Amino acid sequence: MVKTDVLSTKQRFGIIGTSALLDREIDKALLIAPIDLSVLITGESGVGKEVFSQIIHQNSLRKHGQYIAVNCGAIPEGTIDSELFGHEKGSFTGALGERKGYFEVADGGTIFLDEVGEMPMSTQARLLRILEYGEFIKVGSSKVQKTDVRIVAATNMNLLQAIRNGRFREDLYFRLNTVPIEVPPLRERKEDIPLLFRKFVSDFAEKYRVPAIQLTEESRLVLVNYRWPGNVRELKNIAERMMIIEQEREITAATLKTYLINPDMERLPALIPPGNDTKNFGSEREILYQVLFDMRKDVNDLKKLVHDIMIGNIASPQVEKTAPYRTTVNVQDVTPPTVGTIPVSASKEEVVPYVDDYVEETMSLEEVEKEVIRKALERHGGKRRNAALDLKISERTLYRKIKEYGLE
């Protein structure tokens, strides 16, 4: 039996669904709301994690305080410290005055850190200081300030995997994860899908002043059995598109499938070709290195081939290799070729240097990466966004590498 307070919370925050998994997480949020602990909300993109942070804030002792939601993934790495902790006048170019950060503004309230897994490592260290001691330092200042803020964080990232990859601090994870809440994906709440769809259709019918669409029995089965990678957000978008585009108010299964992404595709594990080491697919940087090394090997093979062809063009069929880098060539009735304006002697036995042009140069990984980034920036006229797309890395990663290698 569903608790009365869970039902009233659903009505208050507009949560649709009867799933036991969903009710359990709402009940957990209500239980921990009055207790001043940090909370980590996990779940796939589009499941409604921010609603749970609002439930926690509105049912806590801080409900009359400030509530600030921050998307950590949307703030550039160079400015996130200033946004969260504030800065002093003149602390960096463009800092024309003092600025209060979110942690100072939300003193006595709650901060919701969405996509906390995207936070830079340096900012994670500052956040850990707030969680442990309730203090922070503005950018460009040496004065320690106090703040009393409850932190509710959310992510769709596997933070344990991010810790293993060195992208997230282990100590910060355990400080944030005092109380975990895991919002179930829509495919695990199949009984809620028709309810949500009817609610969205009803809302859009009223908004656009058009008759509501209806699903056939077959299309209803397609809707329920679809895997919904975008979860509630995807369901809402599809309902809105069909309300606007479709002229027929009865939606068949064939029509519905045109709005779904690979509706018949099963969720299968990715296959890796035999003999490939999975570590080569661990990160975008390792993939880039693998491509570069393969290209470099091809270039060296090509150099060797060209060198062998050149030696073959000036040597007679009798070629005897007498030393690792010297080749004895017997020249008989061969017109002496020239190199530039210097003739090559046509004596009976001539020693020709064996030039090893294909010996690999020694370059560090950092030098290879720096050169690839520099050439990508040159190709795109310094436009970082286009260069990042070309390199298949994020713009934030490219910005960090440009600073690291001094390529501004």
CA 49/CA 159 separation, integer angstroms = 16
pLDDT (0 to 100) of residue 340: 44
Under the banding of pLDDT at 50, 70 and 90, the label for residue 263 is: low
Residue 264 lies inside a defined structural domain of this protein = no
Closest CA to 400 of 390, 388, 389, 392: 388
Task: Print the domain residue range for 372.
Answer: 362-405
Same domain as 126, residue 112:
yes
**Bridge partners (DSSP) listed for residue 320:** 328
Q: Is residue 237 within 8 Å of residue 230, measured between CB atoms?
A: yes
Same domain as 327, residue 246:
no
CATH number, domain containing residue 387? 1.10.10.60
Residue 273 lies inside a defined structural domain of this protein = no
Q: Which of 138, 162, 184 is the last residue in one of the domains?
A: 184
pLDDT (0 to 100) of residue 284: 55
Same domain as 158, residue 88:
yes
Same domain as 301, residue 243:
no
pLDDT (0 to 100) of residue 315: 47
Residue 312 lies inside a defined structural domain of this protein = yes
Mean pLDDT for the chain?
Answer: 82
Under the banding of pLDDT at 50, 70 and 90, the label for residue 394 is: confident
CA 400/CA 398 separation, integer angstroms = 5
pLDDT in tens, 318-374: 444 444 444 444 444 444 444 444 444 444 444 444 444 444 445 567 777 888 888
Say what angle helices 20-32 and 4-13 make with each other, to 10 degrees.
90
Beta pairing class for 326-330 and 319-323: antiparallel
Residue 46 lies inside a defined structural domain of this protein = yes
Q: Is residue 187 within 8 Å of residue 228, measured between CB atoms?
A: yes
Residue 267 lies inside a defined structural domain of this protein = no
Same domain as 217, residue 196:
yes
pLDDT (0 to 100) of residue 276: 44
Residues 6+ apart with CB under 8 A from 257: 222, 263, 264
- Give mean pLDDT, residues 17-27: 95
User: Does the pLDDT of residue 190 top 50, yes or no?
Assistant: yes
What is the tally of structural domains in the chain?
Answer: 4
Beta pairing class for 214-215 and 326-330: unpaired
As given in the structure block, the two tokens for residue 124 are 């994670």
pLDDT (0 to 100) of residue 338: 44
Same domain as 157, residue 48:
yes
Same domain as 192, residue 168:
no
CA 172/CA 125 separation, integer angstroms = 8
Under the banding of pLDDT at 50, 70 and 90, the label for residue 85 is: very high
Residue 24 lies inside a defined structural domain of this protein = yes
Angle at 56 between CA 58 and CA 13, to 5 degrees: 65
370 or 195: which leads in pLDDT = 195
Same domain as 132, residue 72:
yes
pLDDT (0 to 100) of residue 327: 44
Residue 263 lies inside a defined structural domain of this protein = no
- In 109-248, alpha helices (H): 121-133, 159-164, 170-176, 193-208, 217-225, 231-245
Angle at 180 between CA 178 and CA 184, to 5 degrees: 175
pLDDT (0 to 100) of residue 326: 45
pLDDT in tens, 379-390: 888 888 888 888
Residue 321 lies inside a defined structural domain of this protein = yes
The pTM assigned to this predicted structure is 0.64
Three-state DSSP class for 145?
strand
Same domain as 378, residue 291:
no
pLDDT in tens, 28-80: 999 999 999 999 999 999 999 999 999 999 999 999 999 999 999 999 988 99
Return the exposure string of 240-267: e unless at least 16 CB atoms fall within 10 Å of the residue's CB, then b.
Answer: bebbeebeeeebebebbeebbeeeeeee
Q: Which of 157, 184, 211 is the last residue in one of the domains?
A: 184
